[in-house]
Structure 1
Amino acid sequence: MLKRFLIYAWPVLFIFVMMAGCKDLDEINHDPTKPTDTEPAYLLTSAQKSSMDFLYSTLQNGYIGMQYAQYWTGNSRVNDAQYAIDENNNTALWNAMYNSLHSLDRIITINNQRGNNPAAKNQNAIAGIMKVWLFQVLTDAYVNVPYSQALKEGENITPAYDKQENIYTSLIDTLQRQISALDPAQPTFDAGDVIYNGNVAKWKALGHSLLLRLAIRIADVSPEKARTVIEANYASAMTDNGGDARFNYLTTAPNKFPMSDIDREISDFFVSKTLVDYMQSLNDPRLPVYARPSVNGPINGLEYGRSANDPGRLAPANYSYPGVRIYSDTMPGILMTYPEVAFTLAEAAARGWNVGEGAPALYEKGIRASMAFWGITTGVDEYITSVPYDAGDWKNVIGTQKWLALYPQGFQAWFERLRLDFKQPNGDSLFIAPYSGSLDQNVPYVPSRLTYPLAEQTQNAAAYQKAAADIKGDTKASKSWWDLN
């Protein structure tokens, strides 16, 4: 059922788009790229697929997320690893996230207008949870963004930018409302939900889990709020890999994983020396999954941001591409997985908060769950023994293992890198500045955010100028509200 629905959802949406574009000229102010009347299930599939396609594409995840997390670095094109942002990729990410948000908001609008859908309450709550996830990505990537006025179709084409602190407060409140609204005893999506197939209990657990993500991200700037949220939600969050929120891609076009290399070799990226050397130092059994052997034999990473014309750089055959599974047709798009939950709770316990278990046990659960996700069954006990939990160095111990477990979620790993500013547990630096130098002199080490799309400067000039001033300049060095490190 789901496979058939996924395959046919896009052609049906295309028909609605064409119909919307053929209305009378008196409706010219309506955006013809948004369906005027369609079924919530189609809109949900559209929003899930579109957002995952961009968050895991070569252009957005490959050139931005995976490089800012320092998992990968460029092969012939190295400017991105040296922080010269590609404005087309940046604009496409911004637009895709907001387009998906509009589709989700349309689900709620349609259900409220019709008033005869017994599944409306659950469908609206599921759409609301997905909206929180997308807004979290947007605000963590750009800091202040259009939020409260962003989805008022036809009412405001120049929305104000909300402050990130206010967005976070609203996202937490919204998630709590959506979780309360979900009712497993009532109808839900009977098709269209590729992530959970309409399973209300799993959407509830995801809602609680996303609250943990939001709360831990503000743990330094608003510790009491973070503690209250985590202590109230940890028991209802994911408890194992069976609750993972994944968008399962298929083996047939156009529903393959965006970075699938089945039709062409993806030679844009090498795994970074940062990732390879650290995993090799730990004898990490996930390394052969994260990276493939170089043409000349061993797994070998390239120094992050090392230019293609650097005279000391070896031939490409000496460096490793990302692993085969990362480039497979059916690699899932990840919204959130249990290892992130476990490491989040481990950190909460390390901070002295009550989450039912101690930090060592939760830390171990995070590692074991990550190994299981990647199908690693041998050497796990030995690995855990070699990377013991250390209460006196919890930030570096948990930070490094969470970073390894978040692969290939480039954007979330980048946000966590900024938030915790962790090092190796021995105190040595884990990350490096771009090896051949940064092309953005304001950012010698790592960008704190993405700059706003250039179109915002002209199409939404007044709101853009205020937003830029509020964050002390539209630069990659301007920090998130929660980033105190």
Structure 2
Amino acid sequence: MNKILRYTMIGVVALTTFSCSDIDNVNKNPNSPSDVPSNMVMEGAEKWAMDNIYDLWFSGRQCLTYSQQWVQRNYTEEDRYQIRETVNNSYFNYLYMGLANFDKVITLNTDEKYKATNSAYGTNANQIAAAKIMKVWLMDIITDTWGNVPYSQAGKLESEGTLYAAYDSQKDIYTEMIKELTDAVNTIDVSQPAFSSGDVIFGGDAEKWKRFGNSLKCRLAIHLSKVDPNWKNYIKEAVESGVMQSNDDAAKFTYSASGSDYCQFYEGFYVEGRNDFSIARPLLYLLKGEADELNHKTHPWQGTVDPRLSIYTCPNANGEYTGMPFVTPTGIQDKFRASSPDWKSGQPLALTPTYSVPLMTYAELKFILCEYNGYDRQDYEDGVRASLEYWYSLAGKTLSAADEDAYVTAVSKKVDAESCAIQKYLDLFTNGTEAWTEIRRTGYPEQLMRPGEIACIYKDQPVKFTPLSDTKGDIIERVKYPTNESTLNGANFKEALSKLTDGTNNYYTKMYWDVRKSSYDHPANK
């Protein structure tokens, strides 16, 4: 029974609870997914994905620490790659349930029994395209977290009776994702709405869905830039079809200002009463323009303070901007809490109840195009400006033109692979999944800590970053397959293991697109 729940629409049944719309007026059985209008299914599907990715578990205790944006203030075992199997099992399930939710939107707009009724909520083709784009966005997170995973058979329980899904190679998954995005954007009619209501991300704007789909195709293409010589063709196709044009096109999910529909970062701190996270010192150093002297690492813009500093974090009790060491053993980490910023008291932007979690920003696209165009200065500067303006607007603040110009000038003296990668990393704040991917793809920022480097000095002794799982001396490459797979999908699980390095379920098997030879290697694009 558990296997059935994993790859079906059970999430759709559950997400009638999560939909922000009032479904009491719908005179239909709420326990039957086929009776829920497609716009409500889409609304619930979007929120299900956001709630289970941008939270204090999948993001907070995994991707945001893997990318060294956040660090735990109390218990650091997960930061050092000792993952809770219960959490790993749950989120593997939740993300696949998310795929099934978007599949349901597609079914409601393709099945002859439902499509005519649901066309009232947006043209069938546009709804299908938006759902496909979200499926690819989510599938990219899944495969870049675990590697080779079920894809081609994962949604075929209902249609074909497939109970045990085979694992696809990541190479094949990327091929199919790019194809699916291309097909989706080519079917969008921008003269018609995608949804009449229920779409929190773009408010049903078909043009914005098309631009997001093409921009997402650029993200996938840049992931493949070290391994696939066709990556530039994918970006060229996307740009010609139409990508994001400004910050107005950014893909973000804004939580409601009413009721208890909070951003999950806020929920964890202020509803559940936790105070477990703060800004990681490596990111803090990058934002403050300070070098990591303990590890003899330089800063590309020494002395330049990033204007986003006061938005991403808050000062400590003494009014100073500091960060928690990344990452010391539990017990030693406690000693640094008093001098670190207390996010629960200071409440930076990401911890506000209506925080807009970022799926993809316009600035990210500009940094992709900068790399695509041979590290073009104009694309780079446009990206830096877009990021500053995006984050200030999100925080309801204004950055003066003089301060913006000064920062752009300071960080643009040399435009190359490193500067582009670091500025993209800084823009990807709270988007830990993508930041982690870019670190593994490029080897930047070098200012982040690798295992064996010094996290802090405690009692006059250096404390080194010592992982609790074997990572072969690098940051974590992947998350292990969840243990439930070994019992619920045993034959396919064993075959998947045979394709990993050493034939074991480990943390160090590289992604298909990661061709680095060492932790500080920066391979060239094909």
**How does the TM-score come out when normalised to structure 2?**
0.81
Within-5 A mapping of 1:28-47:
35-47=33-45
- Give the deviation of 1:232 after TM superposition: 1.9
* Aligned equivalent of 1:239: 245
Change (3 A) 1:203 1:478: same
Residues 262 and 328 in structure 1, CA contact (< 8 A), matched pair in contact too: no
Gaps of 5+ in 2: 1-17, 290-303, 393-397, 456-463, 517-526
Residues 471 and 477 in structure 2, CA contact (< 8 A), matched pair in contact too: no
Pair 1:197-2:203 in alignment: yes
- Give the deviation of 1:149 after TM superposition: 0.3
Q: Percent identity, please.
A: 30
Among candidates 150, 162, 166, match of residue 168 of structure 2: 162
Residues 193 and 206 in structure 2, CA contact (< 8 A), matched pair in contact too: no
Q: Any idea what the Cα deviations from partners look like across 1:118-138, whole Å, max 9, x if unmatched?
A: 421111111111111111111
Moved more, 106-115 or 156-165: 106-115
Change (3 A) 1:436 1:484: closer
**How does the TM-score come out when normalised to structure 1?**
0.88
- Give the deviation of 1:108 after TM superposition: 1.6
* Aligned equivalent of 2:102: 104
> Helix, strand or coil: the match of 1:284?
coil
Residues 195 and 203 in structure 2, CA contact (< 8 A), matched pair in contact too: yes
Change (3 A) 1:140 1:413: same
Q: Any idea what the Cα deviations from partners look like across 1:62-86, whole Å, max 9, x if unmatched?
A: 1111100001111111001111012
Change (3 A) 1:360 1:139: same
Residues 271 and 321 in structure 1, CA contact (< 8 A), matched pair in contact too: no
* Aligned equivalent of 1:7: 20
Pair 1:364-2:381 in alignment: yes
CA distance in 1, matches of 2:23, 2:72: 33
- Give the deviation of 1:188 after TM superposition: 3.1
Give the letter aligned to residue 238 of structure 2. Answer: N
Moved more, 196-205 or 88-97: 88-97
Pair 1:478-2:478 in alignment: no
Among candidates 163, 167, 177, match of residue 171 of structure 1: 177
- Give the deviation of 1:341 after TM superposition: 0.2
Within-5 A mapping of 1:8-407:
8=21, 16=29, 19-20=31-32, 35-113=33-111, 114=113, 115-116=115-116, 117-118=118-119, 119-154=123-158, 155-222=161-228, 224-235=229-240, 236-260=242-266, 261-263=269-271, 265-281=273-289, 282-310=304-332, 314-322=335-343, 324-350=348-374, 359-375=376-392, 377-378=399-400, 379-391=403-415, 394-407=416-429
Moved more, 466-475 or 112-121: 112-121
CA distance in 2, matches of 1:390, 1:363: 10
Residues 450 and 465 in structure 2, CA contact (< 8 A), matched pair in contact too: no
> Helix, strand or coil: the match of 1:135?
helix
- Measured on the aligned residues, the alpha-carbon RMSD in Å equals 2.1
CA distance in 2, matches of 1:109, 1:42: 14
CA distance in 2, matches of 1:476, 1:272: 22
Residues 343 and 366 in structure 1, CA contact (< 8 A), matched pair in contact too: yes
Residue correspondences, number: 450
- Give the deviation of 1:40 after TM superposition: 0.8
> Helix, strand or coil: the match of 2:278?
strand
- Give the deviation of 1:444 after TM superposition: 3.5
Pair 1:445-2:467 in alignment: no
Change (3 A) 1:219 1:11: farther
- Give the deviation of 1:263 after TM superposition: 3.6
Residues 390 and 397 in structure 1, CA contact (< 8 A), matched pair in contact too: yes
Residues 34 and 108 in structure 2, CA contact (< 8 A), matched pair in contact too: no
Change (3 A) 1:42 1:186: same
Give the letter aligned to residue 231 of structure 1. Answer: K
* Aligned equivalent of 1:430: 448
CA distance in 2, matches of 1:313, 1:195: 39
- Give the deviation of 1:265 after TM superposition: 5.0
Moved more, 252-261 or 170-179: 252-261
CA distance in 1, matches of 2:189, 2:20: 29
CA distance in 1, matches of 2:23, 2:435: 31
Change (3 A) 1:126 1:389: farther
> Helix, strand or coil: the match of 1:453?
coil
- Give the deviation of 1:317 after TM superposition: 1.7
- Give the deviation of 1:6 after TM superposition: 4.9
Residues 77 and 330 in structure 2, CA contact (< 8 A), matched pair in contact too: no
Residues 9 and 46 in structure 1, CA contact (< 8 A), matched pair in contact too: no
- Give the deviation of 1:296 after TM superposition: 3.5
Residues 437 and 444 in structure 1, CA contact (< 8 A), matched pair in contact too: no
CA distance in 1, matches of 2:351, 2:193: 37
Residues 21 and 40 in structure 2, CA contact (< 8 A), matched pair in contact too: no
CA distance in 2, matches of 1:453, 1:252: 37
CA distance in 1, matches of 2:368, 2:205: 24
Change (3 A) 1:192 1:298: same
Give the letter aligned to residue 364 of structure 1. Answer: E
CA distance in 2, matches of 1:364, 1:43: 40
Give the letter aligned to residue 62 of structure 2. Answer: I
Q: Any idea what the Cα deviations from partners look like across 1:233-275, whole Å, max 9, x if unmatched?
A: 2241101100011111013344111111444654101211101
* Aligned equivalent of 1:411: 433
CA distance in 1, matches of 2:231, 2:23: 40
Give the letter aligned to residue 441 of structure 1. Answer: D
Gaps of 5+ in 1: 21-34, 352-358
> Helix, strand or coil: the match of 1:7?
coil
Residues 90 and 453 in structure 1, CA contact (< 8 A), matched pair in contact too: yes
Q: Any idea what the Cα deviations from partners look like across 1:364-391, whole Å, max 9, x if unmatched?
A: 1111111111215132111111112535
- Give the deviation of 1:178 after TM superposition: 0.4
Change (3 A) 1:360 1:102: same
Higher relative contact order structure (alpha carbons within 8 Å, sequence separation ≥ 6): 1
CA distance in 1, matches of 2:273, 2:363: 30
CA distance in 2, matches of 1:9, 1:406: 34
Q: Any idea what the Cα deviations from partners look like across 1:300-359, whole Å, max 9, x if unmatched?
A: 11111112322x8634120124552110011112211101101110111126xxxxxxx1
Change (3 A) 1:364 1:16: farther
